[in-house]
Structure 1
């Protein structure tokens, strides 16, 4: 792999009940289990961070694919949802849902861009074959 960029983060405390920082200070926040997992919910959690990262990365991939095809994309959004569940073997697993809105494009063109973005997005490539990822084009 030809490395183009490296991100670093440090977790301190007790992981899901701790603190995360990046060397540049851009991220500096408490990580707290959600109420659904017995925590206070008074901070971010790893699944929220993953959902935000995947949504932003996938959104960028859509724009990159659109530029390569000379298609203008405006007013687009990508919503990310990360589900955490039991794997039935004493461990946990993730599933991801991405909802893409490309309001100014015909449905078939929007789907074509989303399908292409799913092939180039680094998050999609990292998760492919490892966790269930559902990508849906929506009007809303």
Structure 2
């Protein structure tokens, strides 16, 4: 095993989340859209942050193979919490590389989606859209 981290949350969506090493502690709050105060963070935001960062690393690793500048890439991860018929997630990963051919960027995104650990973890579990912008 290369790396392990731990986080503990008390109070659920209206509680406090803390990393084991104390390096990050966040107030959690149900989003206003769901009737909460919105005065904190929520799991979907944290998931989007982690996935966009992880996917960005996959882009960096593979970009040269596709003839693209991975350092110029910007990755946006949009996570949706669906509440109809029970709770479920959906996501869209958008990647932009200024001046790059969109077809090349799309090919890079498709390959990055096969190596990113977040993408692997969600494969077949939630709908994911991959978009070159």
Deviations 1:65-104 (A, max 9, x none): 124567432321111111111352xx31000111110113
Aligned residue number for residue 33 of structure 1 = 30
Cα distance change of structure 1 residues 26 and 104 upon mapping to structure 2, 3 Å threshold: farther
- The DSSP-based 3-state class of the residue aligned with 1:94 is strand
TM-score (norm 2): 0.92
Query: Is it true that 1:134 corresponds to 2:132 in the alignment?
Result: no
Number of residue pairs aligned between Structure 1 and Structure 2: 133
- The DSSP-based 3-state class of the residue aligned with 2:76 is strand
Aligned counterparts of 1:82 and 1:96: Cα–Cα separation in 2: 5
Deviations 1:97-127 (A, max 9, x none): 1111011322222112111100000010000
Query: Is it true that 1:9 corresponds to 2:4 in the alignment?
Result: no
> 2:66·2:104 contact (CA, 8 Å) conserved in 1?
no
Aligned equivalent of 1:98, options 73, 93, 96: 93
Aligned residue number for residue 78 of structure 1 = 75
RMSD: 1.5
Deviations 1:40-65 (A, max 9, x none): 10111111000111111111111111
Q: Which runs of 5+ in 2 are unaligned?
A: none
